[in-house]
Homo-oligomer: A and B are copies of this chain.
Amino acid sequence: MKGNELSRRNFIKFGIAGGAAAMTGAAVAAENVTFDESYDVVVIGTGFAGLSCATKCAAAKLKVLLVDKMPVIGGNSAICGGFMAVPLSKYQKALGHKDSREAFIGDCLKDGLGINHVDLLNVIFDRARDAEELVESVGGKTDHRITFESGHSVPRSIATRSGTGADYVMPMYEALKKLPNVTFKTRCKFDDFLMNKEGRVVGIVCREGYKFNAELESDDVQNTSGTKKTFEAKRGVMLATGGFSRDKWFRQIQDPRVVPSIDSTNHPGATAGALLKAFDIGAVPVQISWLQFLPYCSPFEKGYGISSNIIEHCGFDYGMVVNPKTGKRFMDEHAGRKIKTDAMLNVIGNDENYPLAVFDTDAIAAINPAYTKAPLEQGAAKPFSTLDELADHYKMDKAAFKAEVERFNGFVKNGKDTDFGKPLQYHKGISIKTAPFYAIPCCPKVHHTMGGLLINTKAQVISSKTHEPIPGLYAGGEVTGGIHGASRLGTVAVADALTFGMVAGEQLSA
Residues of A at the B interface (CB closer than 8 Å) are 1, 4-5, 7-8, 10-12, 16, 18, 20, 22-27, 29, 105, 113-119, 195, 197-199, 218, 221, 249-250, 253-257, 272, 276, 279-282, 284-290, 342, 345-346, 451, 454, 456-457, 464-468, 482
Residue of chain B at shortest CB distance from A113: B342
Q: How far is the CA of A180 from the CA of B117 in the complex (A)?
A: 51
List chain B residues, Cβ under 8 A from A257. 114-115
Residues of chain B contacted by A346 (CB below 8 angstroms) = 114
| 27 A-B pairs with C-beta separation under 8 A | A1-B118, A5-B119, A11-B467, A12-B467, A18-B465, A23-B197, A23-B465, A24-B197, A24-B199, A25-B25, A25-B195, A25-B280, A26-B26, A114-B257, A114-B346, A115-B289, A116-B256, A118-B256, A218-B467, A249-B467, A253-B286, A253-B454, A276-B282, A286-B288, A287-B289, A288-B451, A289-B289
Bound complex: CA A118 to CA B252 (Å)? 12
Whether A221 contacts B466 by the Cβ 8 Å rule is yes
| B25 and A281 form a contact (CB under 8 A) | yes
**Residues B289 and A456 in contact, CB atoms below 8 Å apart:** no
Q: Which residues does chain B contribute within 8 Å of A27, judged by CB atoms?
A: 24-26
Measured in the bound complex, the distance between the Cα atoms of B464 and A482 in whole Å is 22
Beta-carbon nearest neighbor of A279 in chain B: B279
- Whether A25 touches B465, Cβ cut-off 8 Å, given contacts A253-B482, A289-B115, is yes
Given contacts A25-B26, A284-B276, A289-B286, contact A118 B4 (CB under 8 A): yes
> Considering the chains assembled together, what is the distance between the CA atoms of A467 and B113 in angstroms?
32
Interchain nearest-CB distance for A351 vs B (Å): 16
Bound-state Cα–Cα, A8 to B122, Å: 13
Smallest distance from the beta carbon of A507 to chain B beta carbons, Å?
Answer: 16
Contacts of A256 in B (CB 8 A): 114-118, 482
Main secondary structure of the interface of A (DSSP, over half): loop
Closest approach, in angstroms, between the C-beta of A15 and any C-beta of chain B? 9
A105 to B5, CA, bound (A): 14
A286 adjacent to B254 (CB under 8 Å): yes
Which residue from B4, B24, B198 sits with its C-beta under 8 Å from A117? B4
Shortest distance between the CB of A400 and any CB in chain B (Å): 25
Residue from the list B12, B285, B482 in contact with A285, Cβ < 8 A: B285
CB distance from A140 to the nearest CB of B (A): 31
A286 to chain B minimum Cβ distance, whole angstroms, is: 6
Contact B466 A16 (CB under 8 A): yes
Distance between Cα atoms of A80 and B155 in the complex (Å)? 51
Q: Which B residues are in CB contact (< 8 Å) with A345?
A: 114
A113: chain B residues at CB < 8 Å are 342
Q: In the complex the two chains form, what is the Cα distance from A446 to B332 in whole Å?
A: 34
Closest to A255 in B: B115
Rounded to whole Å, the gap between the CB of A25 and the closest CB of chain B is: 4
Query: Of all chain B residues, which has the CB nearest A109?
Result: B1
Check if B468 sits within 8 Å of A12, measured CB to CB.
Answer: yes
Of A5, A114, A253, which is in contact with the most chain B CB atoms at under 10 Å from its CB? A253
Tell me the nearest residue of chain B to A196, going by C-beta. B24
Given contacts A119-B8, A286-B253, A289-B290, contact A24 B29 (CB under 8 A): yes
Closest chain B CB from A344 CB (angstroms):
12
